Amino acid sequence: MAGRTVINILSVISELNFGGGENRLLNLARSIDSNRFRLSVVTLYSPPVAAANRRGTLRGQFAAAGVKVQELNLPHPSNVQGLRPIKLANTAGTLATAIAKLRQLIVATRADAVDAHLETALYTAVPAAASAGIPAAVTLYSELDLWRIFDSKSYRRVFFPAIRRFNLRLCSAIFTDSRARALDLEQFIGESSPPIHVVPNGVRLDKPSRSRAEVLREFGIPAETRATIIGQVAGLVPFKGAAVLLSAARRAVAEGHDLYVLCVGDARIGPAYPLQLRRQAEELGISDRVRIQGYPGNIADVWSVIDVHVHASSIDSLPNAIIEGMSLGKPAVVSSVGAIPEHVDHGRTGLVIPPDDPAAAAESLLRLLRDRDYAARLGAGAYRRYLERFTPEITARAIEACLESMIDAHRSRRAVAR
């Protein structure tokens, strides 16, 4: 695309809370070639201040990166009270309003392409781009596995798959972070599937904003402790495997290892699951060694105190937490789901276990606790893998090339149609 003017990309995401999709967009915004691309970010919902304070927001990081964030300030459908028909009608109205406003924004900013992130943007930004006559790409991760869970109700099974396929076929490109997810999407969409590009997330953590002692005290851990900190940074939902981590930790404590467990993340489905985890810790007799809570500040603060990372999820694609841990050279125990086995080599860059297997998690965790030199070698291998595959610059160049290809193909089709 030599000699062309700067390409205007409009990136759309529902909110800017802490999360893998939000961090992918942040690192893309920081690393995109500003000589060739101008990236603007649009959010659909503006969460209540209380929720933002509890869950944390990335708005400050976007501002520090010089990225302009526009907010449509639409009411979040989850806040609507009433019977199901009322909720469904309200959600449909909100999505229709979002499509109309996004189309206006696309026209006003003369965007060349839309870069949609996650499911809500699939239903809003993609049809808005189609109606405005410009191409759109969408980034999706483990959505298909989650759709199978969330679509248990009959009305969802009837309507939602067809709606998703329709919107996916409107896309000019799809981004995902693993070959396994790309295959899932191809099979789900069927005929007329747009090109699917596998581009793992690029990650670079900010420096910690607090000392180790301050962070430990935040979690109620003595600042002078010499205990090993076992950590997981992930949403507090069942499929992320925190329960498996607690079972593994109980065995390690029983063998006499001095440790604390941090399960740090947002209670995405409400307080019931964190409460369930705390009860599990009590039943296992390790509640005094377990901390389950969110951290609304710089997530690098949490990583700075973690010595061993355990991510025993049963549903995942390639979670940012694994890449973040690699970027810091953390020895890790991870499960063999999604793209994780594509990038974590067992015995070289981490220890890979079957999902939903507390015994395997315990054996691997104990191996790292018993042999610190081995754990250090795994951490060093993980850091080398990060440098090879997961820096924001590597990801940004791959996404730029795909966006250019998408825009070129779209313009060629329009020229032929004329």
Check pLDDT > 80 for residue 3: no
Contact 228/331 with Cβ under 8 angstroms?
no
Question: What's residue 216's pLDDT?
Answer: 97
Per residue in 115-171, pLDDT (tens digit) is 999 999 999 999 999 999 999 999 998 777 787 777 777 767 778 888 999 999 999
Question: What's residue 68's pLDDT?
Answer: 83
Per residue in 28-56, pLDDT (tens digit) is 999 999 999 999 999 999 765 444 444 56
Per residue in 206-262, pLDDT (tens digit) is 899 999 999 999 999 999 999 999 999 999 999 999 999 999 999 999 999 999 999
Question: What's residue 56's pLDDT?
Answer: 65
Q: What confidence category does residue 310 fall into, taking pLDDT thresholds of 50, 70 and 90? A: very high
- pTM, two decimals, is 0.88
d(CA 390, CA 397): 12
Q: What confidence category does residue 4 fall into, taking pLDDT thresholds of 50, 70 and 90? A: low
% of the chain exceeding 90 in pLDDT: 76
Check pLDDT > 90 for residue 13: yes
Question: What's residue 194's pLDDT?
Answer: 97
Question: What's residue 119's pLDDT?
Answer: 92
- Assign residue 311 a region: left if phi > 0, alpha if psi is -120 to 50, beta otherwise? beta
Check pLDDT > 50 for residue 1: no
Q: Residue 33: name the closest of 415, 393, 408 by CA.
A: 393
Check pLDDT > 80 for residue 313: yes
Q: What is the DSSP string of 258-318?
A: -EEEEEE---TT-THHHHHHHHHHHHHT-GGGEEEE---S-HHHHHTT-SEEEE--SS-SS
